Structure 1
Amino acid sequence: MTLPFKEQFAVVTGAGSGIGKETVRVLAERGARGIVLADLNLDSASHVASDIAATTGCVCVPCQLDVAQPASIEAMFRFAIERFGSLDVLVNGAGICTYLPVEELDAQKWERVMDINLRGSYLCAREAIRLMKPRRRGKIVNIASVAARIGGVASGVDYVASKGGVLSMTYALAKACIPFGINVNGVAPGVIDTPLITAHSYPEGTIIGHPRDVANVIAFLASEDARHVQGCTIDVNGGLYMH
């Protein structure tokens, strides 16, 4: 069996639950040598790391990360390099989903979502690119959302706008990284059965996917099978949106 991530090291943010957690599992099952599981909830990341390490043999290392804090991002990447020495894959999975109506969405709430979903993803990508450029190789996968394509299913304007920013950022980073052999792509999940959505009601008949559905596509984009794919965001939504 071919192991596409054999001897590779990865960082997955938002790894304590949902799509991030399942992405760690898929990368580990497919041969990753070491993964930093970065999450605001260190207990969750530690539990996931122990479980996946025990079943796959991958070295899974939890690390607390607050993507709203630039210093926390920089410290996490220093930790990753101190632990593993290099970085092959970054999956930008950390984020929050909001449902506030327009009338209740003030500047402070707007900025919080942008800091986490958009600025945090950018700063993580920036740190990864700094590490990948000297080696002239690497894969970055950003997690956007179907909300950025259709204006949201039930989510707030702030969430939709932040994920639209992730879509555009993916294009720009991909262009910037072409000369350095770094692939930057994304996924745009639909409604996925994760803690982000289970506490909220969605319209009757909404198609709900499993985190593994998204993790499998992320793994493809992070592998050499996608070496000629650049600046692409793949929709993973069960048909909720097609283009």
Structure 2
Amino acid sequence: MEDSERGGGSLSSRLNWLRAGVLGANDGIVSTAGLVVGVAGATSSADALLTAGLAGLLAGSLSMASGEYVSVSSQRDSEQAALAFEERELAERPVAELAELTGLLEDRGLTPAVAREVAEQLTARDALTAHARVELGIDPEQIVNPWHAAWASFIAFTVGALLPLLAIVLPPAGLRVPVTVSAVLCALLLTGWTGARLGGAPVPRSVLRNVLGGGLAMAVTYLAGLLLGAAGA
């Protein structure tokens, strides 16, 4: 049973990471597509489009990575502080902590006798892990590394951003915007579907929201580019 729970927790963790990667790629697609399509509305220069796209890719990926690093570092610090406090409590008040664990297990539906026996067995095996999981909702073996999170966000955003960047610079001038819009909408359909399946959300609603949001972003930035291009002409 314990191996099963461990495997389930590991699977859940991997699914969360995969979903985060999909969402990061989605952000890269939408933000970079909005940028390059907006620039395409103002100019037909391939050099300008490539420069803007690369700048957006680097800025976005580095911003995502640094934001994820700071966020996960704060979470990690809080979890480690909670674990350190719990470890001191176990060393200073073992009897009271055993009673607390027993009470928490009773709150989960165990009878007092069974809760006491389970609490004693968990405490004998690994008291800190037992209290971390039951009392704090933390698994000491699965505390996220902020560097892993930062690199994952950087890579996911970069992979997503490459699609609109390549779609806007590779085709002939007259096909750049239609090709980019088509490629981006198809990619958003895929990421919306994948994210919904991984997160257990309704697929049609998630896909529609994703596609409409990306389409609106490109439409607004393209119109802005047209206006700026006309004003600068």
User: Same fold per TM (> 0.5)?
Assistant: no
Structure 1 length-normalised TM: 0.24
Pick the structure with greater CA Rg.
2
More helix by share: 2
TM-score, normalised with respect to structure 2: 0.25
